[in-house]
Amino acid sequence: MEQVTKINLHPEDIDILIPQVFIDDRWEDLKGLMNELGYKLVDLREHQFSKNKVNIAFAKIEELEEFAGIELKDIQTKIIHDTEYKLLNLVQYLQVYRKSSIDGYRKVKKNNKDIEKINLIESILGT
């Protein structure tokens, strides 16, 4: 979200949506790569790794449509330094954080930080 807003949000973690195949069929490959980079698995349920207080969690991008009503074809593709990735826009982030804010697990784990992000996005969008 920092890339979209151009605001340093001091994130405590990085959430990365990846193709389902990497979690369902190639999990050992992904885990091995993260270990090679010095990250250790800290939460299997959340597919979360940690290194030097930096947490990275992976989720299936295919679940985004069911979870927040965002179709993959509607997510903008970016290319930076020969690396291609998809990046949500502010409206899509708002959809995700609104949905996340009612998830009991995230409410406890994230201390309602989703609400802060919702308020920030709404102020930027003027809604």
Which is nearest to 52 in space by CA: 15, 18, 16, 13? 13
Give the C-alpha separation, 40 to 73, whole Å. 33
Phi/psi of residue 42, nearest 5 degrees: -115, -15
pLDDT on residue 98: 92
Q: CA distances (Å), 65 to each of 47, 59, 98, 123, in order?
A: 20, 13, 14, 25
**CATH number belonging to domain 2-125:** 3.30.460
Give the C-alpha separation, 49 to 29, whole Å. 14
**Tens-digit pLDDT profile for residues 61-90:** 999 999 999 999 999 999 999 999 999 999
The ranges assigned to domains in the chain are 2-125
Give the C-alpha separation, 35 to 76, whole Å. 30
**Tens-digit pLDDT profile for residues 24-66:** 999 999 999 999 999 999 999 999 999 998 999 999 999 999 9
Give the C-alpha separation, 122 to 91, whole Å. 9
Give this prediction's pTM: 0.84
Is the per-residue pLDDT at 108 higher than 60? no
